[in-house]
Structure 1
């Protein structure tokens, strides 16, 4: 179709005899490209929800979901032979499946024009029968047997939901030393053996439990993680549409990609910041997956060592079921954790980067030919100010996050990185001290110091998942956040003898409301890699550290929620980050939009807090349209990743 003289490519999402604009403005289609039916009504319903929920556009959501079209791959697909779902047939039409039975669906008119009869685009317009459980009579009489790993877990309801998808959501959290890969294989096997398909979404290409799924199902899997060419992505996508594969594994883009007969959606490490989309609409994979499950009747499984604030909110609201082992089993399948309080040590022992007791334990492991992981804060991980006298962190008056000096300010200024509150330098509210120091650390320098102290050990410095680790023993690996993955290649399937958490106070002191949550999740993921954990800290009573000592992720959220509730931060409320906010735009938001607006700062960044997210996003929509017409470039990010 031509707009302003230029030929534009779009998608036909409906047909109607009554245009919404004047007939003189209706433009003819230049041509229809290809015979492939790209998506069905279920997909369109999910994409509309994503666009509305995350303050974006439907075209943007579709662009996230679909790979670029490659014509030669379509020609190649014509020679692939019979398909369970022919590419030129409407999604949901009656076709013969692999068992010889007919699968009935909607007519072609219903497929091309969903929700047009009543003019609604809400997910609630989906027919209620579409979310009903699939009957076992449609597939095999009995589901596959579960593996031994389920014995210590209260997972009977989840196993049943994998066999008979019903749109419910679960958070699967096995003990730290139990591999989740075989559990995911069991769930996918149950879903696919009953005639449905599965999506397994991972945050990145690093080795992990999704590898077990790919190995178990072989040619029945479309693995999108390592595609470098658009042709490969489009080829895999067409095989999904045809029903040639029953499992798809991939990263963020897979969450919205069409998948016929979808029965299971797995999101591995649901709190990983990589799941936050960078383009409009800036949706989060976790929320998109939960919505897709509700709308299509697919079972949704989330995994993480510590629930995100949003998942904790869903759990508290009864919208999600936690699948875990009892406390005795969790403690039995977890490392020993010991905290060393720096404040109780002699000045000589606490001046070193690794305090005396930890230095002695590292030397002992090295002497016995073992492996040590030192989890350090990377460059830039800590920038908050702390008091030089009492070492307590300076905090924002409005939101409780850390504050840091503003570079280049005409007068000395401290600013909160979360809500943009600013203040001149001030004394410590705990001891009155006026001297400060930045909470910073460097992993590379620590690795150099350890190499000098332990010449018999191979010392490696790892800042990313794909960096090689030590190849000989004894070994010391100084790792930062990016290198903590479920299955580090250099450990060869074994656990390290010792994990040292070197900079917990730096991570807890970051100018970020989510600092404690993020730090605890990192420590738990690191603890899964070791037999023993030692932590050096000046804040041993910090709730996040106490949750690590007890290996009790569930015990973290009650106190953290109590701390965040007066501030209106998740899980008590929701956040919307806005950039490019002018004084006039800020005034309009304060006048017409429910919530509390913090800012904007001199850079035009503002934070909107609300406990009625749906109403707030709806109220922002007409303002966003007005700003767009006036060429005011205000960008809206719902549920921002502040980390």
Structure 2
């Protein structure tokens, strides 16, 4: 008789099962059969029977015994012996889940991509990257920059907040700098993880890494790659075939071998916040990972978030910035329109005009030397419509939805991103009124801006039901005249095209974003985040409607506005080369003043102090819980919050996205000293409700990005 196979030395596998229920957020023990012994290694994918169904899972560890009183169920199947869940990533997933009051399974889905069997079984690619560059590049322009790179080459773990000079000068080239930091870390025998907000930034970083590390010296890992490409990049990092991984927020969990550096560009960008529960932010994930791994940190940005400022204040990060003289010399010259008595004497209506005389001076001077960037906060044509007489918002007469005005020529087609003005009359200063004339009786002559005979093709329509409203009349005062207090980028491009008829006008916004524009003279109208780079930088930039982003009902409105302005300024040539920037807004506002002074650090410090006084993040731990009123009442009854926790609400937010229920919000906030205890208490309540199968789903967010 054949001998029976030997029993495994470690017959118990502790498995984390892909189940997001809060009360089941723990490993479960399963028996390992002799046939599975060799493949059921820690980190391997398995299938197990759980609650009568087959579920995916990962082996966390093998053990000799179990606390389970009965007989263990065996593993149903070992899907793959590839240990895709490393101990380091396992710890990170658990820490992130606990930090955000979420479940391990939800975070694990972000960390480990789905398996692609053919890619896993394919022959490994031999990579022979050339030796990386050993130069200081942009860091040479910063007093402590060379020391930072030298520390990375020695294998040390410095942590720095790199305050980039906002300029198209090489000193502001964040992508080249991050690639050189990764190269220095590789020279020290360790790996690097570089994270950026979006695909456009990733392309810049990819180009820089190709120059510094070679095409085979790194891999790019993003969520929008195909299954095979994403898994191939993941395996290359897991197996140690490459030492450098670049990517968007999905790559923050990448299994880099011997991690020595985590780097992040523009940490204040809301694209770095995950849109799925438990909503982790890449900056916090990397900070948690760096603390666990003891690796170096580089957070680079032209602006500065309050979260990074707090890390600096408590000594966790050191500032890596240039001297003020170098900043002033390298950055473009920045000023606010109509900020002097002389400018007001020349243009008395400058405070009321959307495009004052100073703007046209800057544009003319800029066009003589190259392209000019015009940043407009809103996309579209006429963004917000109100009655001309009583200022009542224009609503649809059928469904009471919000309305918009568009050009008749835009119906049924998407405008090209580049257009050339054909108006023959050059205007010295463009101040077209935003008032809409009386709506004529003829449907073919709908209302237009200014004189409808000049712009006869403006259509008023509903944003919800899509109906056209040629016969609209204000239900409040009966007037048939309407105006737009908020003008979008489309209308702005049209106005500037009429003012500069011999100049090419390019548009970059929404689904038609340009990546690059040539250095020939042109007007480039773009919304924030969609600004294309210009060859050798823009000659000038105009920041229009600067007051609009500051009026958003959001805690981070000022911080976000300054971030977007500085990102636009960073595309302009240095002041030494004639680069200039002009902003149109209130010259007394401290946010615009911070822009003029190029002082994001001072602004962040002041903003953090204000938030500490008002008890807002990151000075406190704040948690929002959204759901039905009855579910929130039950949540409040079960919560055992540590003292001194403030419980605010619940307050009604309005109908849900589907419109079927009314959503309310409960807000919890506590001092940072007991923040972890509050998060644990909230997670305990979600586990209790999950075990009870309580009705009414709740959305829990820890330190949400948007607080309005």
Deviation per residue, 1:503-562 (Å, 9 max, x gap): 11011111111111111111111111121011111x212111111111111121233233
Question: Aligned equivalents of 1:514 and 1:295: distance in 2?
Answer: 29
Which residue is equivalent to 1:202? 196
2:538 maps to 1:496: yes
TM-score by length of 1: 0.76
Which residue is equivalent to 2:706? 642
Cα displacement (A) at 1:160: 3.8
2:444 maps to 1:450: no
Deviation per residue, 1:34-73 (Å, 9 max, x gap): 2211122221111110000011111122111111101111
2:544 maps to 1:514: no
Which residue is equivalent to 2:23? none
CA contact (8 A) 1:53 1:614 kept: yes
CA contact (8 A) 1:441 1:506 kept: no
**Superposition pairs of residues 538-577 of structure 1, within 5 angstroms:** 539-577=586-624
Of residues 45-54 and 610-619 in structure 1, the stretch that sits farther from structure 2 once superposed is: 610-619
CA contact (8 A) 2:538 2:571 kept: yes
Question: Aligned equivalents of 1:619 and 1:380: distance in 2?
Answer: 45
Of residues 520-529 and 162-171 in structure 1, the stretch that sits farther from structure 2 once superposed is: 162-171
**Superposition pairs of residues 431-450 of structure 1, within 5 angstroms:** 440-450=486-496
Question: Aligned equivalents of 2:515 and 2:601: distance in 1?
Answer: 34
CA contact (8 A) 1:459 1:475 kept: yes
Question: Aligned equivalents of 2:225 and 2:302: distance in 1?
Answer: 31
Per the alignment, in what secondary structure is the counterpart of residue 208 of structure 1?
A: helix
Name stretches of at least 5 consecutive residues in structure 1 with no aligned partner.
85-97, 99-139, 392-403, 412-436
Aligned residue pairs, count = 537
Which residue is equivalent to 2:375? 375
- Closer, same or farther in 2 for the Cα pair 1:513/1:406, shift >3 Å? farther
Cα displacement (A) at 1:371: 1.6
Question: Aligned equivalents of 1:216 and 1:585: distance in 2?
Answer: 53
CA contact (8 A) 2:306 2:605 kept: no
TM-score by length of 2: 0.69
Cα displacement (A) at 1:335: 0.8
Deviation per residue, 1:142-201 (Å, 9 max, x gap): 994534642433235522442244555211123222222332232111211222111111
Deviation per residue, 1:425-453 (Å, 9 max, x gap): xxxxxxxxxxxx99734111111111111
- Closer, same or farther in 2 for the Cα pair 1:305/1:572, shift >3 Å? same
Question: Aligned equivalents of 1:471 and 1:253: distance in 2?
Answer: 32
2:162 maps to 1:172: yes
Q: Which of 299, 315, 318 is the aligned partner of 2:315? A: 318
Question: Aligned equivalents of 2:694 and 2:396: distance in 1?
Answer: 33
Which residue is equivalent to 1:163? 153
Per the alignment, in what secondary structure is the counterpart of residue 13 of structure 1?
A: strand
Name stretches of at least 5 consecutive residues in structure 2 with no aligned partner.
1-47, 401-482, 573-578, 655-662
Question: Aligned equivalents of 2:271 and 2:86: distance in 1?
Answer: 27
Question: Aligned equivalents of 2:350 and 2:589: distance in 1?
Answer: 22
Q: Which of 294, 297, 302 is the aligned partner of 2:294? A: 297
Question: Aligned equivalents of 1:383 and 1:623: distance in 2?
Answer: 43
Of residues 346-355 and 229-238 in structure 1, the stretch that sits farther from structure 2 once superposed is: 346-355
Which residue is equivalent to 1:113? none
Per the alignment, in what secondary structure is the counterpart of residue 366 of structure 2?
A: helix
2:648 maps to 1:597: yes
Which residue is equivalent to 2:17? none
Q: Which of 80, 89, 101 is the aligned partner of 1:34? A: 80
Question: Aligned equivalents of 2:382 and 2:688: distance in 1?
Answer: 40
Q: Which of 266, 269, 283 is the aligned partner of 2:266? A: 269
- Closer, same or farther in 2 for the Cα pair 1:407/1:302, shift >3 Å? farther
Which residue is equivalent to 2:363? 362
**Superposition pairs of residues 182-201 of structure 1, within 5 angstroms:** 182-201=176-195
Question: Aligned equivalents of 2:133 and 2:505: distance in 1?
Answer: 48
- Closer, same or farther in 2 for the Cα pair 1:380/1:308, shift >3 Å? farther
2:626 maps to 1:579: yes
Which residue is equivalent to 1:235? 232
Cα displacement (A) at 1:262: 1.1
Q: Which of 108, 114, 117 is the aligned partner of 1:62? A: 108
Bigger Cα Rg: 2
Cα displacement (A) at 1:407: 12
Which residue is equivalent to 1:48? 94
CA contact (8 A) 2:196 2:266 kept: yes
Question: Aligned equivalents of 2:149 and 2:204: distance in 1?
Answer: 21
2:584 maps to 1:536: yes
Per the alignment, in what secondary structure is the counterpart of residue 216 of structure 1?
A: helix
